[in-house]
Amino acid sequence: MVGLVRPAVVEDAAAIADVHVASWRTTYSGLLPEDFLGSLDEAGYEGRWRRILEDGSSRVYVAADGPDIVGFASGGRERAGESGYEGELYAIYILRDSQGRGHGRRLVQAVVGGLRELALRDMVVWVLRENAGARKFYERLGGVYIRTQPITIGSSSLQEASYGWRSLDDVRY
């Protein structure tokens, strides 16, 4: 089924890892050193996603085109102590060839549903400041810019920006 979004299961860990690494390599090319992007290891990410899925404290969803997983998103309780927010969209990545087909909106909608299951009422997300496409995506969803802060990824010092929704009812799909 085209455009299916469903909760992830442990058996999806390898496919999520593949999407994660491929998406980082395309999304952050030019923002992060190519040697760092080339060093990303699907097997390591598979183990990480397997642990996350087995733990069950996060909500993780996958987007599929037919039998292939082409994207994923995860969320849960806010992790960094951002004042005024209890929920967080941790990650959302979609393979470049599958972008622009509504997977992102459907994945965010699924994460919002997961946050509601956790009795969370609001949401924050962090995005690299230089990632203009992602920032526009969050703005179209009704996210309000909060602030920036420094982040180090590999050997790169960058800035990340946060967007928030004071109520999950404010997310526009």
pLDDT at 3: 74
Tens digits of pLDDT across the chain (173 residues): 457 999 999 999 999 999 999 999 999 999 999 999 999 999 999 999 999 999 999 999 999 998 999 999 999 999 988 889 999 999 999 999 999 999 999 999 999 999 999 999 999 999 999 999 999 999 999 999 999 999 999 999 999 999 999 999 999 99
28: left (phi > 0), else alpha (psi -120 to 50), else beta?
alpha
Q: What is the 3-state secondary structure (H, E, C) of the chain?
A: CEEEEEECCHHHHHHHHHHHHHHHHHHCECCECHHHHHHCCHHHHHHHHHHHHHHCCCEEEEEEECCEEEEEEEEEECCCCCCCCCEEEEEEEECHHHCCCCHHHHHHHHHHHHHHHCCCCCEEEEEECCCHHHHHHHHHCCCEEEEEEEEEECCEEEEEEEEEECCHHHCCC
CA dist 139 → 74, 101, 125, 145, 150 (Å)? 19, 18, 11, 8, 21
Domains detected in the chain:
2-121 (3.40.630.30)
